[in-house]
Amino acid sequence: MILVTGASGFVGSALIERLVAEGMPVRAAVRAPATAAVLRAKYPQADVVVVGEIGPATAWRDALVSVDSVVHLASRVHVMRETEPDPLRAFRSVNTEGSIALARAAAAGVKRFIYLSTVKVIGERTEDEPFSDASIPYPTDPYAISKQEAEAALFRIESETGMGVTVLRPPLVYGAGVRGNFLRLLAWVHAGYPVPLGAIRNQRSLLYLGNLVDAIATLLARPAAPGRAYLLRDGADVSTPDLIRRLATQMDVPVRLLPIPAWGLHLAGRITGRAEAVRRLTDSLVIDDARFRRETGWIPRYTVDQGLRETVDWYLATRRA
């Protein structure tokens, strides 16, 4: 039995769909009864359990009965407009302490624990060299700090108990159901607004949702490789202007890229309070995922253009609904 936490989320729902389609015994853990009812109706083959809010006091015993593999996806995600008076404490409660509580409960019988982290535990940008599995963690915001602390704690639990722990550190994940900056970019390109990013010469590693799900399924189908923290990405990196051109092509809309210099964009970001969003669009963040491919034999099932096509199809369908 495979326990998937965060089963109703962006990644979790896609993973549940994949595992159910392959006839895998799946238990989907969700926070609320209403969400559980929706999942039971959609995936009657899955065993759906309600565990409540994720944190240090979450009761996992019933959810872990007969489970031999855990895929821990549930987390407090990056918040654009934070309202918590102590954001780091809020992130730690869910992402660090919640993960520790689950891992300690799971260690009694679970053989494999797969944890979805983020490339942000290493850093926000690359310059001359890509991030690799040898890169030293350097988290810079509360979300990334909480994830890095969870990684370290999980590896300690592995050394104490023998439960195999594998950590995945993806870059930005896109696909059907995407939210945040990528959704805003889709809307901006579709509307035909001028985009002031024509002068940007960066490179970004991305990961299509279907490729992430396939990578997790690959890990579940192979003997455990404990003690690993893997980076992974689509097969090709793109610049922000190239990404916009590809999206516009998929949407069959004209491309309107204005060549505004990076310094001007950063100044505008500081003035408008969107400095972080501007950095993500203008900085480079490149990943070397050679070790994951070498050690697992995994290659991306979908190309960047295939992933963007599916994402655009979903976006356009939501616009017509």
- Count CA atoms within 13 Å of residue 143 on its CB side: 14
The CATH number assigned to the domain with range 2-169 reads: 3.40.50.720
Task: Give the CA distances from residue 183 to residues 73, 178, 180, 210, in Å, rounded to whole numbers and listed in that order.
Answer: 21, 6, 6, 17
Confidence tier at 81 by pLDDT (50, 70, 90): low
Q: How far is CA 41 from the centre of its chain?
A: 25
Q: Closest Cα partner for 209 from 250, 179, 248, 237?
A: 179
Distance CA(302)–CA(283), nearest Å, equals 25
CB 84 within 8 A of CB 100: no
Identify the residue whose tokens are 């003997």.
Answer: 223
Confidence tier at 267 by pLDDT (50, 70, 90): confident
The catalytic site residues sit at 143
Higher pLDDT, 263 or 157: 157
In this structure, is the dihedral angle defined by the CA atoms of residues 37, 42, 44 and 46, taken in order, positive or negative? Answer: negative
pLDDT at 263 over 80: yes
165 bridge partner residues: 113
Q: Closest Cα partner for 170 from 29, 289, 47?
A: 289
Q: pLDDT at position 80, please?
A: 60
112 bridge partner residues: 69, 164
Per-residue pLDDT, averaged over 218-240, amounts to 89
Distance CA(30)–CA(181), nearest Å, equals 25
Architecture in CATH of 172-207+233-321: Alpha-Beta Complex (3.90)
Identify the residue whose tokens are 């407009």.
Answer: 81
Written as six digits, the tokens of 191 are 């509307």
- Count CA atoms within 13 Å of residue 275 on its CB side: 6
pLDDT at 215 over 90: yes
Looking at 58-72, 76-90, 139-153, which range is the least confident one?
76-90
Identify the residue whose tokens are 């998937």.
Answer: 4
CB 207 within 8 A of CB 234: yes
Q: Where in the chain is the domain with CATH 3.40.50.720?
A: 2-169
pLDDT of 94-137, one tens digit each? 999 999 999 999 999 999 999 999 999 999 999 889 999 889 99
pLDDT at 89 over 80: yes
Q: Which residues contact 82 (CB under 8 A, 6 or more apart)?
A: none
Record the pTM. 0.94
- In this structure, are strands 172-174 and 164-169 parallel, antiparallel, or unpaired? unpaired
Distance CA(150)–CA(303), nearest Å, equals 31
Q: Which residues contact 85 (CB under 8 A, 6 or more apart)?
A: none
Looking at 43-57, 176-190, 266-280, which range is the least confident one?
266-280
Identify the residue whose tokens are 């940007």.
Answer: 200
209 three-state secondary structure: helix
Distance CA(143)–CA(149), nearest Å, equals 10
Confidence tier at 261 by pLDDT (50, 70, 90): confident
